Chains A and B, each alone.
Chain A
Amino acid sequence: MDAETFEIKAYPEMWQELGMDVARFDKMRLMLGEIYGKTFLSQQNRPVRMAYFDQTIAEIHGGRIKELLAAKAAGRPVIGTFCVYIPEEVVLAAGGICVGLCGGSQGSIPDAEKILPRNICPMVKSAFGFKVGRVCPYIQVVDFVYGETTCDAKKKTWEILDTMVPTYVMEIPQMKNESDRTMWLHEVKEFKARIEELSGKEVTVDELTKAVRVMNDKRRALQRLNTLRHAKPTPISGKDVLLIEQIAFYDEPVRFAAEVNELCDELEQRITAGEAVPSKDAVRIMVAGVPMALPNWKLHHLVERAGAVIVNEESCIGTRYYKDLMAEDGQDMETILTDLTTRYMNIDCSCFTPNDERIDQVLKEFRESQADGIIHYSLQFCHTYNIEEIRIREACAREGIPYMFIESDYSPEDVGQIQTRVEAFLEQIRG
């Protein structure tokens, strides 16, 4: 595949059946293909094993959708989510499929703004707009959406989204006290009951244990990838790793983990051979902050075009998704659900207060990734990350870590300013 000829495959008949706005979606498909070609396929010296992930993008609106439709036809529930707090293990154990829904595109924001207020998070607007405009096959396919209460924009949007697609809401605590853990365990049990009701199938200890292993394996593969990219020089671009982290949210988990491991084998060989992407002396940047949902590649593209390389994403679409494994040896349902609750309570989202463990985690990942500086990335109107940024900034100042904060959205208007700021940050690091 090359940048000129790359195309995302079209499935107009299937899209028609899914009730989509086919004419408009087809234009979006062409645009996405072009951007993908320019952003990814024009990179030099990519690992050969990236071919699977390129192929996954080429089939993003077809191949995977067919799999989801086939699962539905076989009576398996397909569930759409927007957050790393939704315990996928439970869905898998019930024979279902969990997909992270789209929310990283400027294209669907005007649709959302017909209904929602303009000054809320672009990720919420983008996701909602995909349903309003009927321009995302995933949200058309899902049986229902499982939302959560990690921010105000989300939890109130679910009420409106529910009028278009059945939307359930899981309550996420905001503190980590004993009472919060009890409440969260209760919510996990409610979630399991709801999934069992929808799939018409009881989740057994055996199936849940199997699902836990599948998810742990997937997370181990991503951990392995992240450890390998930390090598100096790094064997893979930040853009490519971000892409894989994004695909992790919708691909079939067993196949995905196998492909990531194949890629890791290749990266090990590259490290032994001293092969570097992009160059041995490239400035290494770690990104921390909010998730970058598909196809939000804006910051990575600017940083890597300026000659630096991104070596870590401390983000929900990044380490926050895979840094924690869970115990696999629970013998009864109560123990497994308690282990699961413990695992998910370790996630250090800024919606929690206090959230000191995230400050430590950022510093730990900075050291492990051998980065030269940190860019904290927040979306506009994301109050919790925008305010927590102050504490990250202070920690970096204390540790003498070069640091920059970027607040942005999905529009291209601020690309010039961000480019200047990124280049100046790199100049500052190079001294």
Chain B
Amino acid sequence: MFVGVDLGSRAIKLAAWQGGQLVDFKIKESGFEPHRLVQEMIQEYEPCSVVATGYGRHLVKEYFAYEVITEIKAHSLGVHALLPEATTVVDIGGQDSKVISLGNRGQVVNFQMNDKCAAGTGRFLEIMATSLAYSLTEFGPAALASDREVQINSMCTVFAESEVISLKNRGIPRQHIARAVHASVADRILSMLNRVGYGATIAFSGGVANNPCIVEMVRRRLDNVHVIVPENPSIIGALGAAIEAGRA
């Protein structure tokens, strides 16, 4: 058995890979001592080898001498294994967003990643959800149900939050504001897609792919492009790491 762990900014994900199949996975909140949590999560498996990815990858490399790969390679491998037709990956995690262009073997050909600000990341959506008193699971469906276009112009988390507050104070119902927040993230993703270029099939991965409104809005912005989401998109990075463990 091969195990991949993805130490993200918000959650730690584990995937177990055996005989060319995903056989098990786990998701836990990162907490304060991610390396200990990883150790606990791995305990029940008897992996031949472990590969780590995500923000905390170098920490576990230091503690347990695991091999490491970047999230970019991990998501590419994970997506390619489950959805080999995908030519482009959009991965939106807690604090990063990435667009990756894949070659025909699932290898990384080109990629773009957001810079140091939180614009267009899971963290951005979380802050906006909080300011509109939604839970994260309610946020996307509520926005999707709204039928009115309101505009949020700023991509900066700090400025966008004040725009949200001023919209609230103009009496605009919160589901419409929620829709505007989602539209601004979708626009950001589209601009990254345009920079990297994309093929006929785009796969979404990372925690934000669980948000139906973001996926739908990206889909509507693209003509003749197939936008697909794997089952359990948050574990794709861990899966890619597990596959890498199997290859090594």
Contacts and interface: CB of A to CB of B under 8 A. Distances in A.
A416 B93 CA distance: 14
B108 A428 contact: yes
Contacts of A421: 111, 113
A417 B118 CA distance: 11
Contacts of A417: 96, 113-116
Interface stretch (B68-76, B163-171, B175-183, B185-193): B68-76
Contacts of B107: 428, 431
A420 B58 CA distance: 11
Contacts, number: 37
Interface residues of B, number: 16
Interface in A379-431: 407, 413-414, 416-417, 420-421, 423-424, 427-428, 431
Contact of B96 (A420, A423, A427, A428): A420
Given A417-B96, A420-B96, A427 B115 contact: no
A427 B116 contact: no
A414 B73 CA distance: 20
A420 B116 contact: no
Contacts of B116: 413-414, 417
Interface string B90-134: 000000100000000001111101111000000000000000000
Contacts of A413: 116
A283 to B, nearest CB: 14
Contacts of A416: 55
B184 to A, nearest CB: 21
Contacts of B113: 417, 420-421, 424
Given A427-B108, A428-B108, A428-B109, A420 B70 contact: yes
Given A416-B55, A427-B70, A427-B73, A407 B108 contact: no
Contacts of A414: 115-116
Interface residues of A, number: 12
Given A413-B116, A414-B115, A414-B116, A420 B71 contact: yes
Contacts of B108: 424, 427-428
B72 A424 contact: yes
Contacts of A420: 55, 70-72, 96, 113
Nearest to B116: A414
Nearest to A426: B70
Contacts of A431: 107
A420 B114 CA distance: 11
Interface in B54-91: 55, 69-73
Nearest to A407: B115
B96 A424 contact: no
A424 B115 contact: no
A414 B114 CA distance: 10
Nearest to B55: A416
A301 to B, nearest CB: 14
A427 B72 contact: yes
Interface string A111-123: 0000000000000
A417 B72 CA distance: 12
A258 B21 CA distance: 63
Interface of B: 55, 69-73, 96, 107-111, 113-116
Given A417-B114, A420-B70, 16 more contacts: A413-B116, A416-B55, A417-B113, A417-B115, A420-B72, A420-B113, A424-B70, A424-B108, A424-B111, A427-B73, A427-B108, A428-B107, A428-B108, A428-B109, A428-B110, A428-B111
16 contacts: A407-B115, A413-B116, A417-B96, A417-B114, A417-B115, A417-B116, A420-B72, A421-B111, A421-B113, A424-B73, A424-B108, A427-B69, A427-B70, A428-B108, A428-B111, A431-B107
